[in-house]
Amino acid sequence: MQIHFCKKRKLFRLETENSSCLFRIGPGGELRHIWYGGKVEVDTILEEFADRMGTSSFSPQPEGLTPDDSPDLLPLEYSAFGCSDFRITAAALRKENGTSVTSLIYRSHKILKGKKVLPGLPSSFSKTKDSMTLEVTMEDGFSGAGVILSYSIFADSDVIARSVRVSNPTKTTVRIEKLLSAQLDFHHADFDVIYLKGMWGKERQAVRHRLLPGRQCISSSRGSTGHQYNPGIVFAEPSATENVGDVYGMLLLYSGNYIAEAECDQYQTLRALIGINPENFEWKLEPNETFYAPEALLFFSDKGIGGLSRISHKFLMDHVIRSPWGHRKRPILINNWEATYFDFNNEKIFQIAKEASKLGIEMLVLDDGWFGERNDDRSSLGDWFVNKKKLGNLASLVRKINKLNMKFGLWFEPEMISENSQLYRKHPDWVLHVPGGKKSIGRTQMVLDMSRTDVVDYLFHTISDVLHSANIEYIKWDMNRNLTEIYSQLLPPDRQKETAHRYVLGVYQLHERLLEEFPNLLIEGCSGGGGRFDAGMLYYAPQIWCSDNSDALDRISIQMGTSLFYPSSAMGAHVSVCPNHQTRRTVPFTMRGHVALSGTFGYELDITKLSDEEKELVRQQIQNYHEWNNIVREGNHYRLTENFGQTNIAAWSWVSQDQKKVLVTVIRKNSEPCGINPPLHLKLRGLDPDKLYELDDKRRSHGKTLMNAGIRIPNAMQDAFSIIFHLNATE
């Protein structure tokens, strides 16, 4: 890990173990990008990468410079609107005279030890000796505002954490119209783009296609991440596979409106940007104020898409998920939602807990319906008081459950409010809406204005009171609709476009305050399943419910897609009842276990109704969890098949850090005619080539054989066929 500035060449150089990033200060004070990717040495050949040749008068250059210096041509570290860079740009600052034209000129830089966290926002962290930061201060030539680009690198990771802040040392107001978190200019556009698309019940399906000329983007304007896309993007050389090839990634630590944008320009070069979605965003920056844009992570791997995913998994585990639970084995939970929906009472919950504890389940999670007068989804959100008619005294129920040797967890949907609630009757103005206009309603609920401190205070106190009232060790933090009529009663007209971002800051602040009060609280994020699965939430919640669709066959592409960036330890996955409540499909109990064991693991069914045979399978799965979870959580994850689980056969594995233990899962979704011939030969990955591994059935093979020739997988003429097997190094 090294950050170096060469005064003579005006050149910055950032080196991680397997990647280099170089840029230099150009004649106009612009930061010219030279290289990001595999390791390089600085020489004149490489330095030429920062230059392009001026071709026409349609690419003007700043006064005093040559046509070769036109921003329209150059690879830049961070681009601004209005001065001849006609591609998508990263920043636009509006001044009091009305112009948004922005020109960024290098002023100074600092190389610092360590990495600071961003105030009020999730961001990566590290010990001072294990990281370094470069801060480059640019100045907007038109307003005098400072735009500070921050680059942090880490001793143990090929990641560059980038962020941007704007400070206003002037005497006038500056309005930030656009401030993206990271830009990557490439010298060509010969890439496949990979991203995650989805919908409710079908989140994070990986998509891969060639980049086309022009602008392409994924984004959210829903006020939260959304089920539809995920705030991360990958550029892979077209020949890249899971295991080989140069691959770049950008991942945003943010849970609100975002954009990840790519432009293949007239010269077939690629510019990629990621950050807050500028649509309906603006921030008024008064003199002496600073605005922080969220952090973005840049990844590079020359070991294919799988290599990039493993960099991301490890980095998120070690430098983003800050919960003490991040690396810890989680309690196996049972959630009552699909068992009872709203139809439960104290006795029913206790019976589920009792039966579950007999089988070795370690935590009961009481889902929606325990508060206010909530017996269906039409009331009481906001009234976070125990419904005593249903539950009696919560503390004594929790004590009884604790006596069964089980922990207790509770569902909340803090950001929402029902029209039929005490809270709404008291504070109708706390809802996001435009005064005098109609409100949009989703699931008969509205959205609280989390940009208000009184709203955040109310939620902090009411939720804390519940958490103090009983031994509650886990919460499921849900969020079941997107934001509409984004208008805050407390903000002046010229700050209304700040509301969506302030909402997200309020959500983060509430997490922050609750975790300060309850540092060991295990939070599972959720949003109608996986509608807010992002690295920003992972900073607070070490796990997130992947999807309301718990059908094991559908979960394969959901979980494999999720693994593009996110680690298995963060994927909320449960065994649920069949026919499945979302798809009406029935798949074997064992397979449901195999898929759920690939995530956090738990149950989402009425355990009191299982047959003896199923209960025996639960016991086995629990035993497997105890045996395997260390490697699922801490091991290196390999997708052993291409296409992220969207093909008939899907396989994945985890290899322990010392390469001594391997766990492999193989699924064949649909039986095929003569499907047992030819047999499947699966090549394993990440083993020590020279180690001799032993399988469960005592057969032995060397790492090199298992990786080069593969292993023959037994098959069966049935749908939803799954197997898990282990390998242990013999010495």
Interacting residue ranges for ligand GLA, rule: CB under 6 A? 337, 367-368, 411, 478, 480, 526, 528-529, 545, 548
Per DSSP, the three-state class of 187 is coil
Q: Taking a C-beta distance cutoff of 8 angstroms, is the pair 269, 163 a contact?
A: no
CB closer to ligand GLA, 121 vs 365: 365
Instruction: Single out the catalytic residue among 69, 185, 548, 551.
Output: 548
CB closer to ligand GLA, 411 vs 565: 411
CB closer to ligand GLA, 72 vs 367: 367
CB closer to ligand GLA, 261 vs 367: 367
- Sign of the dihedral defined by the CA atoms of residues 65, 77, 255, 604, in that order: positive
Rounded CA separation 583/578 (Å) = 9
Q: Taking a C-beta distance cutoff of 8 angstroms, is the pair 295, 122 a contact?
A: yes
Rounded CA separation 200/526 (Å) = 12
CB closer to ligand GLA, 245 vs 542: 542
Least distance CB 532 / ligand GLA (angstroms): 10
What separation in angstroms does the CA of 562 have from each of 310, 644, 712?
Answer: 12, 9, 27
Residue closest to ligand GLA (Cβ): 368
CB closer to ligand GLA, 409 vs 536: 409
Q: Rounded to 5, what percent of the chain is helix, strand, coil?
A: 25, 30, 45
Rounded CA separation 243/543 (Å) = 27
CB closer to ligand GLA, 526 vs 687: 526
Least distance CB 539 / ligand GLA (angstroms): 21
Q: Where are the beta strands (DSSP E) in 591-648?
A: 602-604, 636-639
CB closer to ligand GLA, 294 vs 529: 529
Least distance CB 578 / ligand GLA (angstroms): 17
Angle among Cα 231, 157, 232 to the nearest 5 degrees reads 10
Q: Taking a C-beta distance cutoff of 8 angstroms, is the pair 217, 260 a contact?
A: yes
Cβ contacts of 213 within 8 Å, gap of 6 or more: 189, 264, 268
Least distance CB 276 / ligand GLA (angstroms): 26
- The alpha carbon of residue 89 and the mean position of all alpha carbons in its chain are separated, in whole angstroms, by 24
Q: Taking a C-beta distance cutoff of 8 angstroms, is the pair 221, 499 a contact?
A: no
Q: Which amino acid is at 625?
A: Y
Least distance CB 409 / ligand GLA (angstroms): 12
478 is known as an active-site residue: yes
Record the tokens describing residue 202, joined without a space: 């079908």
CB closer to ligand GLA, 368 vs 415: 368
Angle among Cα 433, 434, 436 to the nearest 5 degrees reads 115
Torsion of the alpha carbons at 609, 615, 621 and 624, rounded to the nearest 10: 150
Least distance CB 550 / ligand GLA (angstroms): 9
Least distance CB 426 / ligand GLA (angstroms): 23
Rounded CA separation 574/596 (Å) = 5
- Stretch (H or E) spanning 258: strand 258-264
Q: Is 492 exposed, middle or buried (0-12, 13-18, 19+ CB in 10 A)?
A: exposed
Rounded CA separation 231/538 (Å) = 13
Least distance CB 479 / ligand GLA (angstroms): 9
What DSSP line would sit under 419-466, residue for residue?
SBSHHHHH-GGGB---TTS----BTTEEEB-TT-HHHHHHHHHHHHHH
Least distance CB 335 / ligand GLA (angstroms): 7
Rounded CA separation 247/299 (Å) = 8
CB closer to ligand GLA, 498 vs 524: 524
- Sign of the dihedral defined by the CA atoms of residues 444, 445, 446, 447, in that order: negative
Least distance CB 465 / ligand GLA (angstroms): 21
Least distance CB 390 / ligand GLA (angstroms): 15
Helix axes 589-596, 612-634, angle to 10 degrees: 20
Cβ contacts of 426 within 8 Å, gap of 6 or more: none
CB closer to ligand GLA, 538 vs 687: 538
CB closer to ligand GLA, 158 vs 478: 478
Angle among Cα 357, 358, 362 to the nearest 5 degrees reads 25
690 is known as an active-site residue: no
Rounded CA separation 162/176 (Å) = 19
Instruction: Single out the catalytic residue among 478, 534, 551, 554.
Output: 478
- State the pairing for strand pair 174-185/192-197: unpaired
Q: Taking a C-beta distance cutoff of 8 angstroms, is the pair 258, 225 a contact?
A: yes
Least distance CB 591 / ligand GLA (angstroms): 21
The residues that are catalytic are 478, 548
